[in-house]
Amino acid sequence: MAALQLLVNGVALGAAYALVALGFVLVLNATSAVNFAQGDLVMAGGLLAVALAPLIPLPGIVLLPVVLVLMAALGLLLALAAYLPLRRRPPVSVFISTIAVGIILQNGAAILFGPEPRAAPPLFGDDTLHIAGLAVPEQSLAIVAVAGLLIGAQQWVFARTQLGRRLRATAQDPEMARACGVPVTAMILVTFAIGAACAGAAGLLLANRYFVTPTSGGDLILKAYIAVTVGGWGSVPGAVVGALLIALFEVGVSSVLSYPVALGALYLTLLAILVLRPQGLFGEAVRRRG
Amino acid sequence: MSALLTVRGLTAGYGGATALDDVSLSLAAGETVALLGANGAGKSTLLKALLGLVPAWGELRFDGADLGGLATETRVRRGIGYVPEGRRVFPGMSVRDNLEVAGLPAARERAQDVERIFALFPDLALKSGESAWRLSGGQQQMLSLGRALMGRPRLLLLDEPSLGLSPRLADELFVAVRRIAGTGTAVLLAEQSAARALTVAPRAVLLRVGRVVGDGPVASLSEETLREVFFGV
């Protein structure tokens, strides 16, 4: 029973992590650039929900579309300021510029909100449901449902629409995409917007149960990075599965030992994967793509 | 015949090196022209320059309008299709998605065009849902050609389409090129295999070390001229 309880908690956390990793891997695929601001965008989404809550005193699910739109706009700004001017420079330029954006977001948040932890409103309610002996917080169910819906919607767009085809073509071969009439720069902007919207959604989902502080993004970018490494660099399904595995690992080890031990074990596992299976779980598919 | 494509004094290069030097040529609507030259003559660079994929200077007009400064995707939307050397299909996308991504915005027209391509290349229809990386080299070349046709181009730029294909597959591909040219689409065909190119093109432009050294009907090309272009002797 305890294991089932941990599974429920782990899946809820993993669903939110999956959104973070998904946004990270989409930008990585479209631009070959690592967006180190992704974790801080999650923090920004959480604090945005905190800031909006008094203005729109309704459940978090009503705030979600507002957070998605505002975060997408922030993603566009990030692309315009920190990626597009530097895209023909060596990749390290974009690494540094996204790190700089992350620091700006952290310090901006610290000035506006202070260092103390804040909680966003729950998506639906605060109650705990008792199902077959398991205590399942409504928020956990809502996180899984909302994250699943957003990931599913995104996969549908990518698989079934012309926008999705254009985004995938841009990710696979930008020059050839241009030669097929795809407006590649616009697609890169859309990708940054989607990536930031994913981060914002994750921020809203996480900021109720796990709170949000201006520095909480640092931990999340590492987890997104680990999820993408575990799943296979560049693999979208791999990033989602990697995020779920990380969360289950974190919840499981934390319950037996402690959170710091879980975090340490997670980084050790990352090192082991890099040595033993550097292509990650879905690495074979990624290799074939090239 | 009025010119569909006019190139005057085109110069292009990579870094400090000049790959095209003062190139001029023109193509009429519906005309098929072979672009012949040895490896490194500048054939691929010329096609890329027409599409805006490499920096180029000079006058470029398509259907009377200046192409200079236009983005590649805009040139494509104006009616220029491109089949690159090495096929460059999108490997992780299905055959159908490879075609659709280059199609017109309206879904209905796009679907009709996909069926048109499948009729031209029935092999592709059988592999519609498969990832492009699973296709053979010949099928990938057909997909690349079909993808270029999805934008309903008035000018098709073909870069070494027979490269890496068996003689039988190359022959099949050139049958398709002849059919495409027969529909009124102008074709500029860069090809190392002069014998094959001249089976579809009644006119040839000869490039040597980035310069045009000959331009005229195939019948006017002597064996000596071709030998000089390809072997420098």
List, for residues B56-108, the tens digit of each pLDDT value.
999 999 999 999 889 999 999 999 999 999 999 999 999 999 999 999 999 99
Q: Is residue A100 part of a domain?
A: yes
Read off the pLDDT of residues A55-97 as tens digits, 9 standing for 90 and up.
988 888 999 999 999 999 999 999 999 999 998 888 889 999 9
For A165, the domain range is 2-216
More confident residue, A234 or B128: B128
Please tell me whether residue B207 adopts helix, strand or coil conformation.
Answer: strand
pLDDT of residue A128: 85
Q: Is residue A119 part of a domain?
A: yes
pLDDT of residue B74: 96
C-beta separation of A37 from A97 below 8 A: no
Q: Touching check for A179 and chain B: CB below 8 Å? A: yes
Residues 6+ apart with CB under 8 A from A85: none
Q: Is residue A26 part of a domain?
A: yes
Instruction: Please give, rounded to a whole number of angstroms, the shortest distance from the CA of A184 to a CA of chain B.
Output: 8
Average pLDDT over residues A188-194: 95
**In degrees, to the nearest 5, what angle opens at C-alpha B204 toward C-alphas B198 and B210?**
125
Q: Is residue A178 part of a domain?
A: yes
Does residue B6 surpass a pLDDT of 70?
Answer: yes
Average pLDDT over residues B166-180: 90
Contact residues on chain B for A183, CB-CB shorter than 8 A: 71, 73
- B32 pLDDT band, cuts 50/70/90, is very high
Q: Do A180 and B84 touch (CB under 8 A)?
A: no
In terms of Cα–Cα distance, which of A56, A62, A58, A22 is closest to A42? A22
Q: Touching check for A127 and chain B: CB below 8 Å? A: no
Q: Is residue A132 part of a domain?
A: yes
Mutual orientation of helices A2-31 and A38-52 as an angle, nearest 10°?
110
Find the residue in A nearest to B132 (Cα): A289
Average pLDDT over residues B199-208: 92
Nearest beta carbon to residue B73 from set A162, A182, A289: A182
Please report the DSSP string for B106-126 in residue order.
SHHHHHHHHHHHHHH-HHHHH
Q: Do A180 and B97 touch (CB under 8 A)?
A: no
- A289 pLDDT band, cuts 50/70/90, is very low
- A288 pLDDT band, cuts 50/70/90, is very low
Q: Do B107 and A162 touch (CB under 8 A)?
A: yes
Structure tokens at A138: 């409504």
Q: What is the mean pLDDT of chain A?
A: 90
Nearest beta carbon to residue B73 from set A168, A183, A288: A183
Q: Touching check for A160 and chain B: CB below 8 Å? A: no
Q: Distance (Å, rounded) from C-alpha B120 to C-alpha B103?
A: 16
Contact residues on chain A for B76, CB-CB shorter than 8 A: 178-181
Residue A120 is given by DSSP the state P
Nearest beta carbon to residue B100 from set A165, A175, A178: A165
Give chain B's contact residues with A (Cβ, < 8 Å).
51, 53, 71-73, 76-77, 82, 84, 88, 90-93, 97, 100-103, 105, 107, 110, 133, 147-148, 150-151
Contact residues on chain B for A172, CB-CB shorter than 8 A: 90-93
Residues 6+ apart with CB under 8 A from B105: A162
Cα B211 from chain centre: 19
Q: Do B133 and A182 touch (CB under 8 A)?
A: no
C-beta separation of B215 from B202 below 8 A: no
pLDDT of residue B232: 60
Q: Is residue A233 part of a domain?
A: no
Query: What radius of gyration do chain B's Cα atoms show?
Result: 17
Q: Highest mean pLDDT: which of A17-26, A89-98, A196-205, B189-198?
A: A196-205
**In degrees, to the nearest 5, what angle opens at C-alpha B181 toward C-alphas B179 and B186?**
160
Q: What is the mean pLDDT of chain B?
A: 91
pLDDT of residue B211: 93
Cα A216 from chain centre: 13
Contact residues on chain B for A288, CB-CB shorter than 8 A: 91-92, 133
Read off the pLDDT of residues A93-113 as tens digits, 9 standing for 90 and up.
999 999 999 999 999 999 999
Residue spans per domain, chain B: 3-231
Find the residue in A nearest to B106 (Cα): A162
Sole residue written with tokens 């460059």: B88
pLDDT of residue A287: 44
Contact residues on chain A for B156, CB-CB shorter than 8 A: none
Q: Distance (Å, rounded) from C-alpha B51 to C-alpha A109?
A: 46
Q: Distance (Å, rounded) from C-alpha A247 to C-alpha A243?
A: 6
Nearest beta carbon to residue A165 from set B84, B93, B133: B93
Q: Distance (Å, rounded) from C-alpha B83 to C-alpha B147?
A: 8
Which amino acid is located at A82 in the chain?
A
Average pLDDT over residues B175-195: 91
Residue B219's alpha-carbon distances to A215, B193, B201, B216, B228, in angstroms, are 75, 17, 11, 8, 17
Contact residues on chain B for A235, CB-CB shorter than 8 A: none
In terms of Cα–Cα distance, which of A48, A8, A6, A7 is closest to A217? A48
Test mutation, B54, B90, B134, B150, chain A, max A CBs within 10 A: B90
Q: Touching check for A88 and chain B: CB below 8 Å? A: no
In terms of Cα–Cα distance, which of B154, B194, B203 is closest to B174? B194
- B18 pLDDT band, cuts 50/70/90, is confident
Total domains in chain A come to 1
Which amino acid is located at B186 in the chain?
A
Q: Is residue A287 part of a domain?
A: no
Instruction: Please give, rounded to a whole number of angstroms, the shortest distance from the CA of B189 to a CA of chain A.
Output: 17
Sole residue written with tokens 């923090």: A43
Residue B152's alpha-carbon distances to A170, A210, B127, B180, in angstroms, are 21, 54, 22, 11
pLDDT of residue B231: 65
- What letters, b where the CB count within 10 A reaches 16 and e where it falls short, cover B98-125? bbbbbbbeeeeebeebbeebbebbeebe
Instruction: Please give, rounded to a whole number of angstroms, the shortest distance from the CA of B118 to a CA of chain A.
Output: 18
Structure tokens at B29: 């609507």
More confident residue, B203 or B233: B203
Which amino acid is located at A115 in the chain?
P
Residue B101 is given by DSSP the state T
More confident residue, B228 or A6: A6
Cα B110 from chain centre: 21
Domain B3-231 bears CATH identifier 1.10.4100.10:
no
Q: Do B90 and A179 touch (CB under 8 A)?
A: no
pLDDT of residue A286: 41
**In degrees, to the nearest 5, what angle opens at C-alpha A257 toward C-alphas A255 and A258?**
80
Query: Among the residues of chain A, which ranges form H helices?
Result: 2-31, 38-52, 60-78, 91-113, 138-160, 162-172, 174-179, 184-209, 217-231, 236-256, 259-276, 283-289
Average pLDDT over residues A258-275: 89
Q: Do A179 and B107 touch (CB under 8 A)?
A: no
Q: Is residue A290 part of a domain?
A: no
